[in-house]
């Protein structure tokens, strides 16, 4: 019986014990959420680049982006048959909203409705990436308009009618407010899986350290430093540097724009260097005359200053490349792939587990607040599931490895994380098998090795603890038919 | 006197008249109070300190370097500035001022090195630079990004200087930044906003407009300077003035220069004029009392009775059995027990956490970090303990000051002493009143007659020896590389052997640390005891002298005949009229200066 099924059964059992309407409603909502895709919220301070990152992640320009603060209402993005939008009013009514796309980008027209009256927007568009995942774009925290920020706090802190299951937290710099927010998010989950469902993104990585050519390297160093800090590692499972603007600009890159970039690349290196000192010089009418100043200005706005310089430099070094190649290069540079892996492999693959965690959390809270009638059966079953569910044990062990609570030699550390399913839960992903035929031999080899670690008196306590869980995971692969896919999800 | 263009001249004149009257009245205490204010006005060397505040990676250090005209402070984006760095004009040198007031040479690379070698956050790195492109009186402080807590703005930012809130052109001002701006603006600080990195963002102009809107909505009327510090540095490095002209720092520097020559006048003149106003008010009250006693026999009698009662109360305070001495003794005993217990518990916790960590991990891998951390945590624990002694001493001091008020149930004539308000000591408090809140209210100056508290606070919190004694640096002569030899010897052994060796090393270090640290704690407690006892005994002597002085004057008045009393009354009235004129000018000047905060 999967953890999700067990959680479902527990909710059934609890339904009969509810002592009031509110408890019944919460149980029904928890059951509904079990059936929905995983909800990942993109959260961060104002202008952290959330909407830009969303566009890059879903591979479509669906969220409005601007230099000024522009996301004022939490907006959910779902997979659907066409581009359309709805607005959810404070009183629960749902109306159609206009989804508009023109040369100014995408935006949602909410008509005459005041912003304060709308609690969320729902956007639907065809997106294979969103079949197992709903992404929620949120208003910025720390906004000068505090009511706007409060909507995000409610959404993530569990006060919202449809809270998030996982969070991608965008940071440009580290502020006490960020730590408090993430700690609040972790606290809102009663079950002990801290930090697994939160990942931090060092956003706008292309602007770090003045946006020079080494900006992304600096961002990687900074992200690694943050990830190793006690404060951050206790609230998120990792820190990834991502330049969302680079990835987003790759989406809409046209041949015309590529040609303009190539024309700039054709200027003499000294001329380019003199212009690339500042945005003002890059866009000056008397410089880089091969391309009109207005086009240059638009390119800077689209790619960012770092992106423009990188793209031009790359084209100069790859004279036979085309727009597709450049788009590929920009996405590679942006660091988006690593984040996609986390979202679509780690979070999405564990949707059921994360959902079940939320359901168990609801039940525990209802029990604590006395909204469920006394039942030894429910108590015992809830405790049994919470303590014994192997999926939760795996999550906790990954968490302990990520946070440094369990210390292992470097090679064992990385292998353990992979075998426990951090980078995907299919047997092939866990074992790092290139071909299906490799799974069997690799499984045997790993099982022998980790069993030895688990039982050897030479092993340190941490090594033994982790090895026991890894052996459990490998045994489950052995027990299941690995050709059917994921093991624990 | 007339209002000139220069508030310093006006303030100097007001202060001079107040001083002259104090000398004529023979009031040496008012004279002593006003003399430092005159120095404050006349000191041309008062530096104008510009403090740069802002979020991490806003560009504070680059801006500080740009203002200094060269990349003086090393920068690494992944290493935030650990403590304030002050740049000023002078023969090039680098030093660090530690929390205990001592200064030592400083290697600048420590600012961007590993955190273990970084100076503590409470230190200030002092760099003198030559050539210095700004006027010599201007100093620039690059403050670490600290979450922009408005409370930290007090102190460093306020002393004859201004604050530049540094924010980058990548985004609009956030609420944290606006909160800081509001707080500083409300305090009357000279404030400006610098929008950095405008050379990197194509939307910089829109961000500037948005920031101006946010500031306007928050009723913060301050200038915003769009600047590219990077271009300034590039201009200096390549000797290309066009970069510097393009960068916007010239305008900022010009405004700073103007502020340094004019702006610091306002806070200096304000402070001096307020002191003059206080002193004038006290002298006027005193004169009023003296005049009343000259014309009213009953007032004379009441005054005599009050002075006798005050004298008796002071005698009570002098005797060895009074409650304040018992309270001092008890308070210090309790503080010692409390501090000892806290320190020992802290060391035990440290030992336990280290042992647990060793149990969990491979000693070979964690030893270096763990040993450095334990050493640092032990130092932190000792620093915290010594700070606790300082805080505890201040609390005891406040409690005793309250008891002084209870002993002296008869208030002295306000004119005799120089508190901020009517009496010199807190009035007896009704039994039902909450002692803690009353004490705190008195400390904050909310109650009338809190002058003794003011004196105490000045003593404890200002230049008082106590603060210096108790906040001294930790310089333990114990072996800091603890147990290294035995640990290395065991390095090749089995993990358990290594673990045991590491645990023994930690135990040995902490065993050696404890007695050395206890010595420092004991010395602090002795210093606190001596300082508090001396302070209150001195206070009693001062009070006694004051009462005796007033008694002497009362006796002189009593001996005067009718003509003599009239002559004395007229003499005092002349002083009163002149002092009222001084007070009116002081009030007028303060009104003029109140509007002059914004650059």
Question: Which residue of chain A comes nearest to B61, CA vs CA?
Answer: A209
The Cβ of residue A395 has, within 10 Å, a number of other Cβ atoms equal to 26
Whole-angstrom distance, CA of residue B556 vs CA of residue B469 = 45
In this complex, do A142 and B176 lie within 8 Å of one another by their Cβ atoms? yes
8 Å CB contact between B513 and B479: no
* Cross-strand bridge partners of residue A488: none
Average pLDDT over residues B404-432: 36
pLDDT tens-digit map of B46-71 = 567 888 988 888 889 999 999 999 99
Instruction: Specify the range with the lowest mean pLDDT, choosing from A7-11, A423-427, B157-161, B537-541.
Output: B157-161
What pLDDT was estimated at residue A154?
A: 62
In this complex, do A177 and B176 lie within 8 Å of one another by their Cβ atoms? yes
Average pLDDT over residues A81-104: 85
DSSP letter (8 states) at residue A116: G
B176 pLDDT higher than 60: yes
pLDDT tens-digit map of A328-341 = 999 999 999 888 88
In this complex, do B197 and A406 lie within 8 Å of one another by their Cβ atoms? no
Instruction: Specify the range with the lowest mean pLDDT, choosing from A419-423, A437-441, B459-463.
Output: B459-463
User: Shortest CB distance from A175 goes to which of B147, B210, B361?
Assistant: B147
d(CA A421, nearest CA chain B) in Å:
23
Average pLDDT over residues A435-447: 87
What pLDDT was estimated at residue B434?
A: 31
What pLDDT was estimated at residue B486?
A: 33
In this complex, do A142 and B174 lie within 8 Å of one another by their Cβ atoms? yes
What pLDDT was estimated at residue B458?
A: 32
Q: How much of chain A exceeds pLDDT 90, in percent?
A: 22
3-class DSSP state for residue A248? helix
Choose from B171, B177, B204 for mutation: most chain A CBs within 10 A: B171
8 Å CB contact between A240 and A223: yes
Whole-angstrom distance, CA of residue B319 vs CA of residue B323 = 10
Whole-angstrom distance, CA of residue B252 vs CA of residue B244 = 12
Whole-angstrom distance, CA of residue A361 vs CA of residue A369 = 12
Whole-angstrom distance, CA of residue B408 vs CA of residue B423 = 11
Residue of B335, B326, B330, B334 whose CA lies nearest to B407:
B326
DSSP letter (8 states) at residue B65: H
Average pLDDT over residues B316-336: 78
B323 pLDDT higher than 80: no
d(CA A74, nearest CA chain B) in Å:
19
Cα A363 to the center of its chain, rounded Å: 26
Question: Which residue of chain B comes nearest to A48, CA vs CA?
Answer: B171
Element (H, E) at A79: strand A75-79
User: Shortest CB distance from B361 goes to which of A47, A300, A407?
Assistant: A407
What pLDDT was estimated at residue B116?
A: 67
What pLDDT was estimated at residue A149?
A: 61
User: Shortest CB distance from A407 goes to which of B55, B203, B360?
Assistant: B360
- On chain B, the residues whose CB falls within 8 A of the CB of A406 are 360
Given CB atoms, is B29 within the 8 Å cutoff of chain A? no
pLDDT tens-digit map of B561-586 = 888 888 888 989 999 999 999 999 98
A157 pLDDT higher than 70: no
Whole-angstrom distance, CA of residue B275 vs CA of residue B33 = 8
Interface of A to B at Cβ within 8 Å reads: 45-47, 67-69, 142-144, 146, 149, 172-177, 204, 207-211, 218, 221-222, 225, 277-280, 283, 297, 300-301, 305, 405-407, 409, 460-462
User: Shortest CB distance from B199 goes to which of A280, A407, A460?
Assistant: A280
What tokens does B111 get?
């600012």
End-to-end CA distance of chain B: 27
8 Å CB contact between B151 and B62: no
B231 pLDDT higher than 60: yes
Which has the higher per-residue pLDDT, A185 or B117?
Answer: B117
User: Shortest CB distance from A68 goes to which of B172, B202, B366?
Assistant: B172
User: What average pLDDT does the structure give for chain B?
Assistant: 73
Whole-angstrom distance, CA of residue A400 vs CA of residue A406 = 5
The model's confidence at residue B264, banded by pLDDT at 50, 70 and 90, is low
Choose from B60, B65, B200 for mutation: most chain A CBs within 10 A: B200
Peptide bond into B131 cis (omega under 30): yes
pLDDT tens-digit map of A204-217 = 999 887 788 888 88
In this complex, do A222 and B78 lie within 8 Å of one another by their Cβ atoms? yes
The model's confidence at residue A175, banded by pLDDT at 50, 70 and 90, is low
What pLDDT was estimated at residue A182?
A: 65
In this complex, do B55 and A211 lie within 8 Å of one another by their Cβ atoms? no
Average pLDDT over residues B173-197: 82
Rounded to the nearest 5 degrees, what angle is found at the Cα of B7, between the Cα atoms of B4 and B10? 65
User: Shortest CB distance from A68 goes to which of B147, B210, B360?
Assistant: B210
The model's confidence at residue A281, banded by pLDDT at 50, 70 and 90, is very high
What pLDDT was estimated at residue A305?
A: 93
Question: Which residue of chain A comes nearest to B56, CA vs CA?
Answer: A173
- On chain B, the residues whose CB falls within 8 A of the CB of A277 are 199, 231, 234, 243
What pLDDT was estimated at residue A325?
A: 94
d(CA B176, nearest CA chain A) in Å:
7
What pLDDT was estimated at residue A152?
A: 61
Given CB atoms, is B200 within the 8 Å cutoff of chain A? yes
Full-model pTM: 0.61
In this complex, do B77 and A461 lie within 8 Å of one another by their Cβ atoms? no
What pLDDT was estimated at residue A440?
A: 86
Residue of B134, B147, B122 whose CA lies nearest to B47:
B134
Number of H helices and E strands in chain B, helices first, is: 18, 9
The model's confidence at residue A313, banded by pLDDT at 50, 70 and 90, is very high
The Cβ of residue B102 has, within 10 Å, a number of other Cβ atoms equal to 12
Q: How much of chain B exceeds pLDDT 90, in percent?
A: 11
- Using CB atoms within 10 Å of the CB of residue B180, give its burial: 0 to 12 exposed, 13 to 18 middle, 19+ buried: buried
Question: Which residue of chain B comes nearest to A227, CA vs CA?
Answer: B78
- Using CB atoms within 10 Å of the CB of residue B285, give its burial: 0 to 12 exposed, 13 to 18 middle, 19+ buried: middle
User: Shortest CB distance from A47 goes to which of B172, B175, B246?
Assistant: B172
Given CB atoms, is B202 within the 8 Å cutoff of chain A? yes
Element (H, E) at B405: helix B363-407
In this complex, do A460 and B362 lie within 8 Å of one another by their Cβ atoms? yes
3-class DSSP state for residue A170? strand
- On chain A, the residues whose CB falls within 8 A of the CB of B361 are 407, 460, 462
User: What average pLDDT does the structure give for chain A?
Assistant: 82
Chain B segment 412-431 residues within 8 A of A by beta carbon are none
- On chain A, the residues whose CB falls within 8 A of the CB of B357 are none
In this complex, do A210 and B200 lie within 8 Å of one another by their Cβ atoms? yes
User: Shortest CB distance from A279 goes to which of B202, B210, B362?
Assistant: B202
* Integer CA distances (angstroms), A242 to A217, A314, B197, in order: 11, 19, 20
pLDDT tens-digit map of B79-126 = 778 888 989 888 888 888 887 778 888 888 888 777 667 777 778 888
What tokens does B439 get?
């004490």
Whole-angstrom distance, CA of residue B482 vs CA of residue B502 = 10
Whole-angstrom distance, CA of residue A128 vs CA of residue B581 = 84
- Using CB atoms within 10 Å of the CB of residue B262, give its burial: 0 to 12 exposed, 13 to 18 middle, 19+ buried: middle
What tokens does A396 get?
């906790």
Taking the alpha carbons of B534, B540, B546, B552 in that order, is the dihedral positive or negative?
negative
B318-329 in b/e form (b: 16+ CB < 10 A) is eeeebebbeebe
pLDDT tens-digit map of A18-35 = 888 888 888 888 888 888
Give chain B's length: 599
In this complex, do B77 and A209 lie within 8 Å of one another by their Cβ atoms? yes
- Supply φ then ψ for residue B191, to 5 degrees: -135, 140
* Integer CA distances (angstroms), A397 to A266, A384, B229, in order: 54, 18, 47
8 Å CB contact between A203 and A239: no
8 Å CB contact between B418 and B452: no
Instruction: Specify the range with the lowest mean pLDDT, choosing from A13-22, A219-228, B430-439.
Output: B430-439
A296 pLDDT higher than 70: yes
A42 pLDDT higher than 80: yes
pLDDT tens-digit map of B494-517 = 566 667 777 777 877 787 777 777
- Supply φ then ψ for residue A465, to 5 degrees: -60, -50
Residue of B270, B259, B220 whose CA lies nearest to B49:
B259
Residue found by looking up tokens 């059934």 in the block: A12
- On chain A, the residues whose CB falls within 8 A of the CB of B206 are 67-68
Average pLDDT over residues B142-163: 55
- On chain B, the residues whose CB falls within 8 A of the CB of A283 are 202
A191 pLDDT higher than 60: no
> Of A219-223, B286-290, B507-511, B541-545, where does the model show the most confidence?
A219-223
What pLDDT was estimated at residue B148?
A: 47
Average pLDDT over residues B486-497: 45
In this complex, do A144 and B174 lie within 8 Å of one another by their Cβ atoms? yes
Choose from B79, B112, B174 for mutation: most chain A CBs within 10 A: B174
Enumerate residues 6+ apart whose C-beta is below 8 A from B178.
Answer: A144, B214, B215, B218, B220
* Cross-strand bridge partners of residue A75: A121, A137
What pLDDT was estimated at residue B120?
A: 76
Whole-angstrom distance, CA of residue B360 vs CA of residue B355 = 9
Number of H helices and E strands in chain A, helices first, is: 22, 10
- On chain B, the residues whose CB falls within 8 A of the CB of A68 are 172, 206-207, 210
What pLDDT was estimated at residue B299?
A: 78
- Using CB atoms within 10 Å of the CB of residue B39, give its burial: 0 to 12 exposed, 13 to 18 middle, 19+ buried: exposed
How many contacts (CB atoms, under 8 Å) link A and B?
A: 103
3-class DSSP state for residue A134? strand
Rounded to the nearest 5 degrees, what angle is found at the Cα of A186, between the Cα atoms of A47 and A224? 60
8 Å CB contact between A326 and A316: no
* Integer CA distances (angstroms), B408 to A161, B198, B245, B402, B532, in order: 64, 64, 68, 10, 19
ipTM score for this prediction? 0.75
End-to-end CA distance of chain A: 11
What pLDDT was estimated at residue A67?
A: 59
* Integer CA distances (angstroms), B23 to B26, B27, B419, B422, in order: 5, 6, 18, 22
The model's confidence at residue A108, banded by pLDDT at 50, 70 and 90, is confident
What pLDDT was estimated at residue A176?
A: 62
pLDDT tens-digit map of B31-41 = 877 877 777 67
Maximum alpha-carbon separation in chain A: 81
What pLDDT was estimated at residue A270?
A: 93
Which region holds residue B447: left if phi is over 0, alpha if psi is between -120 and 50, else beta?
beta
Instruction: Specify the range with the lowest mean pLDDT, choosing from A452-466, B55-69, B347-361, B403-417.
Output: B403-417
The model's confidence at residue B447, banded by pLDDT at 50, 70 and 90, is very low
In this complex, do B199 and A209 lie within 8 Å of one another by their Cβ atoms? no
- Supply φ then ψ for residue B195, to 5 degrees: -95, 105
In this complex, do A222 and B176 lie within 8 Å of one another by their Cβ atoms? no
Whole-angstrom distance, CA of residue A111 vs CA of residue B22 = 74
What tokens does B539 get?
């206070």
Whole-angstrom distance, CA of residue B56 vs CA of residue A144 = 18
In this complex, do A221 and B78 lie within 8 Å of one another by their Cβ atoms? yes
What pLDDT was estimated at residue B151?
A: 39
B335 pLDDT higher than 80: yes
């Amino acid at each position: 019986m999967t953890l999700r099924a067990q959680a479902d059964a527990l909710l059934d059992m609890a339904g009969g014990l509810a002592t009031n309407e509110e408890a019944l409603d919460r149980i029904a909502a928890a059951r509904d959420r079990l059936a929905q895709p995983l909800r990942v919220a993109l959260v961060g301070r104002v202008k952290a680049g959330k909407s830009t990152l969303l566009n890059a992640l879903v591979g479509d320009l669906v969220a409005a982006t601007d230099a000024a603060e522009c996301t004022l209402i939490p907006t959910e993005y779902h997979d659907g048959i066409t581009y359309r939008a709805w607005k959810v009013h404070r009183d629960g009514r749902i109306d159609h909203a206009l989804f508009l796309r023109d040369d100014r980008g995408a935006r949602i027209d909410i008509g005459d409705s005041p912003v304060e009256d709308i609690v969320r927007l729902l956007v639907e568009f065809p997106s294979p990436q969103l079949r197992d995942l709903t992404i929620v774009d949120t208003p910025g925290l720390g906004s000068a308009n505090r009511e706007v920020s409060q909507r995000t706090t409610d959404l993530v802190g569990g006060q919202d009618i449809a809270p998030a299951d996982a969070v991608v937290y965008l940071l440009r710099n580290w502020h006490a407010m960020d730590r408090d927010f993430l700690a609040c998010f972790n606290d809102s989950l009663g079950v002990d899986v801290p930090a697994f469902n939160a990942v931090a993104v060092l956003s706008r990585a292309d602007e770090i350290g003045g946006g020079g050519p080494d900006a992304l390297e600096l961002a990687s160093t900074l992200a690694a430093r943050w990830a190793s800090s006690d404060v951050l590692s206790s609230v998120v499972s990792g820190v990834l540097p991502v330049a969302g603007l680079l990835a987003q600009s790759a989406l809409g890159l046209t041949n015309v724009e590529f040609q303009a970039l190539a024309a700039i690349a054709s200027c003499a290196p000294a001329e380019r260097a003199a212009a690339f000192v500042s945005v003002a010089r890059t866009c000056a009418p008397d410089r880089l005359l091969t391309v009109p100043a207005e086009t240059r200005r638009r390119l800077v706005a689209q790619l960012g200053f770092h992106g423009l310089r990188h793209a031009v430099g790359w084209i100069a070094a790859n004279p036979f490349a085309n727009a597709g190649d450049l788009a590929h290069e920009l996405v590679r540079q942006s660091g988006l792939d690593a984040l996609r892996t986390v979202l679509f492999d780690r979070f999405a693959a564990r949707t059921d587990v994360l959902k079940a965690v939320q359901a168990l959390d609801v039940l525990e809270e209802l029990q604590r607040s006395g909204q469920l009638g006394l039942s030894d059966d429910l108590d015992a079953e809830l405790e049994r599931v919470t303590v014994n569910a192997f999926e939760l044990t795996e999550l906790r062990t990954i968490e302990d490895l990520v946070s440094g609570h369990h210390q292992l030699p470097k090679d064992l550390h990385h292998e353990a994380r992979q075998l426990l399913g951090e980078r995907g839960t299919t047997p092939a992903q866990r074992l790092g098998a290139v071909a299906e035929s490799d799974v069997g031999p690799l499984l045997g080899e790993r099982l022998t090795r980790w069993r030895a670690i688990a039982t050897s008196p030479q092993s340190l306590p941490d090594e033994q603890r982790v090895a026991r869980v890894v052996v459990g995971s490998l045994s489950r692969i052995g027990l299941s038919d690995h050709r059917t896919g994921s093991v624990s999800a | 006197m007339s209002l000139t263009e220069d508030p310093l001249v006006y303030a100097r004149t007001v202060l001079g008249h107040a001083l002259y009257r104090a000398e004529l009245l023979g009031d040496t205490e008012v004279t002593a109070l006003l003399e430092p204010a005159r120095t404050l006005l006349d000191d041309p060397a008062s530096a104008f300190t510009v403090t740069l505040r802002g979020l991490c990676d806003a560009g504070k250090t680059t801006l500080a370097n740009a203002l200094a005209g060269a990349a003086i402070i090393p920068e690494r984006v992944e290493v935030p500035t650990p403590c304030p760095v002050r740049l000023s004009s002078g023969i090039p040198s680098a030093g660090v001022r530690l929390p205990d007031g001592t200064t030592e040479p400083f290697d600048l690379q420590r600012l961007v090195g590993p955190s273990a070698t970084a100076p503590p956050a409470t230190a200030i790195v002092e760099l003198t630079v030559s050539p210095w492109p700004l006027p010599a009186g201007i100093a620039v402080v690059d403050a670490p990004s600290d979450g922009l807590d408005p409370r930290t703005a007090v102190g460093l930012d306020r002393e004859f200087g201004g604050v530049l809130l540094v924010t980058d052109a990548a985004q609009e001002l956030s609420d944290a930044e606006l909160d800081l701006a509001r707080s500083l603006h409300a305090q009357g600080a000279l404030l400006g906003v610098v929008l950095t990195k405008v050379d990197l963002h194509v939307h910089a102009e829109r961000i500037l407009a948005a920031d101006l809107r946010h500031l306007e909505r928050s009723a913060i009327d301050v200038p915003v300077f769009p600047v590219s510090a990077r271009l300034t540095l590039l201009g200096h490095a390549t000797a290309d003035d066009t970069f510097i002209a393009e960068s916007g720092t010239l305008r900022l520097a010009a405004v700073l220069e103007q502020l340094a020559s004019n702006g610091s006048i306002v806070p200096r003149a304000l402070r001096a004029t307020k002191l003059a106003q206080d002193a004038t008010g006290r002298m006027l009250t005193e004169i009023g009392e003296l005049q009343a006693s000259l014309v009213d026999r009953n007032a004379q009698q009441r005054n005599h009775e009050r002075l006798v009662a005050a004298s008796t109360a002071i005698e009570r305070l002098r005797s060895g059995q009074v409650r304040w001495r018992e309270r001092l003794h008890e308070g210090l005993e309790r503080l010692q027990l409390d501090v000892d217990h806290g320190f020992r518990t802290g060391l035990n916790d440290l030992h336990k956490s280290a042992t647990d960590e060793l149990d969990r991990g491979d000693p070979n891998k964690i030893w270096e970090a763990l040993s450095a951390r334990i050493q640092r945590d032990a130092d932190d624990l000792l620093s915290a303990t010594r700070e606790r002694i300082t805080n505890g001493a201040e609390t005891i001091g406040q409690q005793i000051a309250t008891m002084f008020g209870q002993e002296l149930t008869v208030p002295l004539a306000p004119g005799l002493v120089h508190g901020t308000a009517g009496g010199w000591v807190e009035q007896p408090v009704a039994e039902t009143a909450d002692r803690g809140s009353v004490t705190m209210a008195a400390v904050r100056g909310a109650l009338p007659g809190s002058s003794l508290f003011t004196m105490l606070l000045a003593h404890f919190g200002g230049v008082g020896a106590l603060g210096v004694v108790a906040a001294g640096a930790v310089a333990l002569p114990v072996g800091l590389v603890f147990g290294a030899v035995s640990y290395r010897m065991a390095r090749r052994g089995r993990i358990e052997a290594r673990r045991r060796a590491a645990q023994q090393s930690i135990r040995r270090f902490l065993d050696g640390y404890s007695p050395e640290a206890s010595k420092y704690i004991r010395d602090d407690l002795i210093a606190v005891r001596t300082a508090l006892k001396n302070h209150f005994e001195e206070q009693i002597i001062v009070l006694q002298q004051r009462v005796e002085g007033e008694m002497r004057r009362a006796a002189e008045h009593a001996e005067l005949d009718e003509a003599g009393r009239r002559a004395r009354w007229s003499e005092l009235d002349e002083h009163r009229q002149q002092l009222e004129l001084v007070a009116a000018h002081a009030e007028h000047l303060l009104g003029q200066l109140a509007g002059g905060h914004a650059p």
